[in-house]
Chain A
Amino acid sequence: MRRLVPLLLCLAFLCLPAFAALAEEPALAIVMASGTVPPRLGREQIAQIFKHKKRYWDDGSRILAVNLPASHPLRRSFTQQIYGRNPEELEDYWRDQYFHGVLPPFVLGSEEAVIRLVASTPGAIGYVSICNVDHRVNVLLRLDGSSSCPH
């Protein structure tokens, strides 16, 4: 026990430094298909949806959350703003969930693919840059970012 005290102090000391600075965060829009009645969602509900803790809409239909690849800047921004973490840090969570037969949200390779799937799939929800939102989707929530749309 006595010899562990210095080790635990070291652990505490290593935890003290400030963590990595946040990268530039592009503005994000949480989207669903246009034509659907947009549910009222806050950040907590979005966090629950993308962790598969909230799986049903208020009408009882199943939610289909769609993610971008872990290396995508928007995914990183989304995860940072919603969970305060990087996508890699959520891997432990998904590893634990896998043990219970729960898989991470479906991943699509591009924002256009997200918009297409969300627009054509009832109950689907995703996120894209606010600059890429068009008539096919409704914006449920906007997450602020530091970058602006190119003119």
Chain B
Amino acid sequence: MAFHAIKKIYRQPVLAALKPALLGMTLAVSALPALAQQESASPAYVLGEGLELGHTGVRVGGYGSAQWQQMDYEQTPASVSHFSLFLWSDIGPRLKFFTEWDNQENHTADHDNEYEREGSRFLSVERLYLDYSFSDNLTLRAGKFLTPIGRWNQVHADPLVWTTSRPLLTRDLFPDNVTGVMAMGNTEIAGRSYEYMLYHSTGSQLQPDPTQTPFDHAYGGRLVLPLGDTLQLGISAARFEQNPGRPGPFWNHGEFKRLLAMDFMWAKHGYEFSGEALRRQSSAGADHSEHGNFVQGVVPVWGALSAVARVEHISMPMMKQSLQRSVIGLNYRYSRAVSIKLENVHDSGPVGARSGLLASASVLF
């Protein structure tokens, strides 16, 4: 009886979207009493640091988030939920295993939901890889990993970013992940440590996200340059083929693309200023090339509350003209692991001006 009542409540879109966040918090809270009995000098569980499974060296963690949105052109609000689980382990001093599984559910009858990926429910492998570190200068990674293009995609999890909406260029111009091999490491030049990544993919994908078009064949690299204690610059480049499944107006057989992206981030005392710019050129001609950019500022308002503003621009051939987006919102980081966001999104593009409200709650557990 009670089970059916709960199930009925969860069928409500907004409450259903809250499931992952609630589940994450429940897991975290339920683990606390048992853990409190362990040695206080070495706390076994900290929200946002995962939990070691016994003394196996295997850690489990993840995040849950619930998102809600009401756009002015939609009749009903839409909600989306994510539940992402990480599992990782250091196997000896040089080998590391990491995997992330992501479950997403869209609780909406509206199919014009452009602020999140389409598809009602799916489970995908976001990451699954093995790292072998020869030294700090060289680690080899094999498997499925996040595409090292720009900074946002490397940290795109809901509790880690300031806004519920994702910058368009990080969503539309390359897939979130890539399957292949990567060499990466840190190297010191003139007293500064630089980070590099070089990768190659032949295109096969394990349990792919159905809403994304993976690389067919790709290679690329990324370089991160720190400039002082508070500023870092990133440069990413890639050459790839991406087959959406069938030839069409936006893809030709044998077409390949070249991508160049730059990003920066400055952060100090709770203030943050960051941005990315990306250009993607196609072998099929200039009308198949795209570019986009965004800048984002964060200002602490009071305590854990910060104000966020972002301006975006993207130009894609299928749109015939540019899309401008502005985002203004608030982010309340209750703790290191819990984040509540509210923002207004305003678009002006080929279909005119439109705007909407987005909100989300997320927890890193």
Residues of A near any B CB (own CB < 8 A): 1, 3-4, 7-8, 10-12, 14-15, 19-20, 42, 44, 48, 53-56, 60-62, 83-86, 89, 91-92, 94-96, 98-101, 103-104, 106, 108-109, 113
For B, the interface residue count at a CB cutoff of 8 angstroms equals 46
**In the bound complex, do residue A89 and residue B364 qualify as a contact, i.e. CB atoms below 8 Å apart?**
no
Residues in A with CB closer than 8 Å to B307 are: 11
A92 to B272, CA, bound (A): 11
Complex interface residues of chain B between 72 and 92 (CB less than 8 A to chain A) = 86, 88
Given contacts A62-B93, A95-B159, A95-B160, contact A108 B41 (CB under 8 A): yes
B356 proximal to A (CB < 8 A): no
Query: How far apart are B207's CB and chain A's nearest CB, in angstroms?
Result: 19
**In the bound complex, do residue A15 and residue B299 qualify as a contact, i.e. CB atoms below 8 Å apart?**
yes
Residues in B with CB closer than 8 Å to A7 are: 309, 328
**In the bound complex, do residue A83 and residue B96 qualify as a contact, i.e. CB atoms below 8 Å apart?**
no
B268 proximal to A (CB < 8 A): yes
A53 to B137, CA, bound (A): 10
A60 to B138, CA, bound (A): 12
B229 proximal to A (CB < 8 A): yes
Given contacts A15-B271, A56-B136, contact A96 B155 (CB under 8 A): yes
A86 to B267, CA, bound (A): 12
Q: Looking at chain B's contact residues, is the secondary structure mostly helix, strand, loop, or mixed?
A: strand
**In the bound complex, do residue B311 and residue A85 qualify as a contact, i.e. CB atoms below 8 Å apart?**
no
**In the bound complex, do residue B193 and residue A44 qualify as a contact, i.e. CB atoms below 8 Å apart?**
yes
Q: Sorted from nearest, which 8 A-B pairs have the closest CB atoms?
A: A101-B88, A84-B229, A11-B297, A62-B93, A96-B155, A101-B98, A19-B269, A4-B326
**In the bound complex, do residue B41 and residue A109 qualify as a contact, i.e. CB atoms below 8 Å apart?**
yes
Q: Which residue of B lies closest to A12 (CB)?
A: B297
| Contact among A44, A85, A86, A101 with B191 in the assembled complex (CB-CB below 8 Å) | A44
**In the bound complex, do residue A42 and residue B191 qualify as a contact, i.e. CB atoms below 8 Å apart?**
yes
**In the bound complex, do residue B309 and residue A8 qualify as a contact, i.e. CB atoms below 8 Å apart?**
yes
**In the bound complex, do residue A98 and residue B48 qualify as a contact, i.e. CB atoms below 8 Å apart?**
yes
Residues in A with CB closer than 8 Å to B230 are: 84-85
Complex interface residues of chain B between 298 and 348 (CB less than 8 A to chain A) = 299, 307, 309, 311, 324, 326, 328, 336-337, 348
Given contacts A4-B326, A60-B135, A99-B157, contact A14 B268 (CB under 8 A): no
**In the bound complex, do residue A83 and residue B133 qualify as a contact, i.e. CB atoms below 8 Å apart?**
no
**In the bound complex, do residue B269 and residue A89 qualify as a contact, i.e. CB atoms below 8 Å apart?**
yes
**In the bound complex, do residue B299 and residue A54 qualify as a contact, i.e. CB atoms below 8 Å apart?**
no
- With A8-B311, A89-B270 already in contact, 7 other A-B pairs whose C-beta atoms are closer than 8 Å: A11-B307, A14-B271, A15-B299, A53-B193, A62-B93, A100-B98, A103-B49
B192 proximal to A (CB < 8 A): yes
B112 proximal to A (CB < 8 A): no
A100 to B50, CA, bound (A): 12
Given contacts A11-B297, A91-B336, contact A1 B98 (CB under 8 A): no
